[in-house]
Amino acid sequence: MATTTAARRRDEERAAYDAFLAACPSRRVMDRISDKWVGLLLAALADGPRRYSELGRKVAGVSPKMLTQTLRGLERDGLVEREVTAAVPVRVDYRLTPLGEGLHATLLHVKNWAEGHVEEVLAARDRYDGEHDTQSG
């Protein structure tokens, strides 16, 4: 039947698109920085190495699970380095690699833009909510 054709075609397009996205470098970086904790961790590590628990305290709201998981992802991508000191209570430090510092710098760029334009965004949002009437009428 003809009706299946459109769905089929959309499906193929999506498959091709997915493949395209998987190969796209900027997409991968986007996915990384989209992560809820990555930006915070990078910022927390920006001014020097930190211990696991230090990071936990510095970002405050993070659970051990997410802390470990995020750190692992970062380490896997070569953005942070993990150094284990086999003392009596084990000690583990994390620090940014040059690559990680580069990403952090880029993120700072974004942050910079954000701080410079957040007022405009907020104003636009306000205007929009006013014009489009959130719900009252």
The site for DNA (CB under 7 A) is made up of: 7, 10-11, 14, 35-37, 51-54, 61-66, 68-69, 71-72, 82, 84, 89-92
Say how many CA atoms lie within 13 Å of 7 toward its Cβ.
4
Coil, strand, or helix at residue 37? coil
CB 99 within 8 A of CB 42: no
Q: Does 66 bind a second copy (CB under 8 A)?
A: no
Query: What pairing do the DSSP bridges indicate for beta strands 80-85 and 91-96?
Result: antiparallel
Nearer to a second copy, 51 or 117 (CB): 117
Nearer to DNA, 38 or 103 (CB): 38
Minimum Å gap between C-beta 1 and a second copy is 22
Q: Quickly tell me which residue has 């692992």 as its tokens.
A: 72
Q: Does 110 bind a second copy (CB under 8 A)?
A: yes
Residue type, 9: R
The two three-digit tokens of residue 129, written as one number: 């909510």
Residues found near a second copy in the complex (CB under 8 A): 13-14, 16-18, 21, 25-30, 33-34, 39, 59-61, 75-79, 99, 102-103, 106, 109-111, 113-115, 117-118, 120-121, 123-125, 127-129
